[in-house]
Structures are given as C-alpha cells and as structure tokens.
Amino acid sequence: MFLKTVLQELRHSQRILIRGLSTKPSWDIITGVCVERLPVVTPPLNAMQKKYKEMLYTIEVENSLKSDHELRHDNDKIKAELLKNESADIDLDVVSKITAQDFEDAAAEEFANFKFADLVTEADKTGNKASIERCLQRHLVLVTSLKLGKDTKTILPQGKWQEGETLRQTAERILSEHCGSDLKVQFLSNAPCGFYKYKYPSEIEGKIGAKVFFYYANYKSGGVSEKVKANWLTRTELIETLPDKYRKSVEEFLINEPY
C-alpha cells in the first residue's frame, strides 16, 4: 500500500518535471476520429464452433421430450395404419384433416419461398467502398482523404484543436465538418483512445509537428455527405491504405476481427 502511494507520487512528480522542463508547447494538438461500424450480421462460425454446436444440438434433442407436433405426427401414423387395414370403423372426418406431415410440407414450402436479404450487398458486388452497406459481417472504419501539407493522405478524419474546446468537442466538430451533420455517431468516451505523433518537414508557425489524439465512436445512423471522399474499410483494407506508422497506432486500439 505504502509502496503504491510512493510510486504514484513518483509518477506524479515525474510528470510535473516533464511539464516543467518542456518549454512552450511546440506541437500542434490534433484530434482524429475513428468511426467504426460494428458488424450488422453475426460472423460465420468456424469449423470448431460448427462441430461443437452440432454436438450440443444432438444432445439437446436426445434429452428432450416430444413436442406437440411430434405427437400429432405419431397419431397420424397410427391412424394411417388403421385406415390401411380397414379393420376399424374410422371417422372419415378425422382422417381427412390436415396431417402433421402436410403442415410440415407447407411450412417447408413457405420457408423455401421466403427470400432472405443477400449477405453480399450491392456495394459488395460493385466494390463500392464509400457505401456503408458493405461487408455486413465485418467491422468497418471510416477513412477520408485529407490534404496534409503538400500531399493528400487517406487517414481517419482529423483536425486541429481550438482554444476553449475540450478534445471531445473538437472530435465532434471535426466529424461534422468533414462528413456533414447527417452522420450520427456515438462517442464512447471523453478520453482519447489512441495517440500518434508526427513531425512536419519544416516548422510551421513555430510548431515542429503534430500530436494526434484519437477518439473512438460507433456508427449510429445517417451517411457521409456525398461531397466528401470517404471510404468504409475493413481491417485488411485498412492495413493496405493507411500509412505504415500511422496504421500501427490505429491498430493499437481496435479490436481484432475474429475471422
């Protein structure tokens, strides 16, 4: 306990020391926003999960009691037997009823006729990365192309922090500036989730570089305004598009895709 408090004190004093030593903030403070669309559809089961699910299902059936439908099916069978033998005087009314088998067939037909929405959406077919209706089983991250200095880069939307704002407010402002106010997201914290630092090729207004604080948000509704060149990328596409070092900082705070 004592040791812990001492350690905390040490850490605190170290921080103060660092703050004291560093002369004037010579870095730009920049907020980046990582908007992620969570998977809409559950990812497919892998081989192990499939096998285990199958086993659980058979055990479940073994331990279960017969359902109403199964009882009805059994009754129908007995009645059919009797009818074949013509041994007993059977009420024709009872026999001519819909049997359980008929019901099952009708249900199967209805099921076959029902058209589920396609997992591969229109955007997947055309390879449209700007649409949010793509790769329904995967996490998608919003990236935009930004002009940094001379060259344009494809990175998470970002912008400079302004005096008088909290970083969270900056993040919200930047997102609406970049993507339009139609895009609704849910920020998950007041605290940044990741950090990235880069130096400018030459000093700009006395700043030697930028410190980027990432904020994480989940996509809720709406879309990015069409004027902006924005893409929703899967994890593998992120690896391909983001600059190398930048990518590492972003990957630090994203969860791994299970498949």
Partner 1 sequence: MFNWSVLKQLSRLSICAAAKAQVNTRLISTNTTLQFKMTEPLCAEPLKKKKKMDPAIIKAREDRRRKKLEKQIRRLQKNARQLKSIDEMEVPLHILDEMGKRKRPPVKLSSEVMEARALLQKEWTQYKREEYMNSVAQIDRIMAAQRRALDKLYEESEELYDEAIMPDLSLIPYSVRGPVATPPIKDYASPDGEFIDVSKKWDN
Instruction: Assess contact for 135 and 125: CB atoms under 8 A.
Output: no
Instruction: Assess contact for 187 and 168: CB atoms under 8 A.
Output: yes
- Least separation in angstroms between residue 166's CB and partner 1 is 4
* Residue placing its CB nearer to partner 1 in the complex, 24 or 84: 24
Which residues pair with residue 185 across a beta bridge? 219
In Å, what is the CA distance from 28 to each residue of 32, 169, 204, 209?
Answer: 13, 17, 10, 6
* Residue placing its CB nearer to partner 1 in the complex, 124 or 228: 124
Interacting residue ranges for partner 1, rule: CB under 8 A: 15, 18-19, 22, 25, 27, 29, 38-43, 48, 51-52, 55, 59, 62, 64-66, 71, 74, 116-119, 121, 136-137, 161, 166-168, 187-195, 197, 211, 213-214, 218, 249, 252-253, 255-256
* Assigned token pair, 15: 């921080």
**CA gyration radius, the chain:** 31
Name residue, tokens 């199964």: 70
- Least separation in angstroms between residue 86's CB and partner 1 is 26
- Least separation in angstroms between residue 177's CB and partner 1 is 20
- Least separation in angstroms between residue 210's CB and partner 1 is 11
- Least separation in angstroms between residue 42's CB and partner 1 is 5
Cα 254 to Cα 216: distance, rounded to the nearest angstrom: 9
DSSP state of 131: -
* Residue placing its CB nearer to partner 1 in the complex, 41 or 108: 41
Which helix H or strand E contains 31, and what residues bound it? strand 27-37
* Residue placing its CB nearer to partner 1 in the complex, 178 or 213: 213
- Least separation in angstroms between residue 41's CB and partner 1 is 5
Cα 180 to Cα 225: distance, rounded to the nearest angstrom: 5
* Residue placing its CB nearer to partner 1 in the complex, 54 or 226: 54
* Residue placing its CB nearer to partner 1 in the complex, 2 or 259: 259
Identity of the residue numbered 115 = K
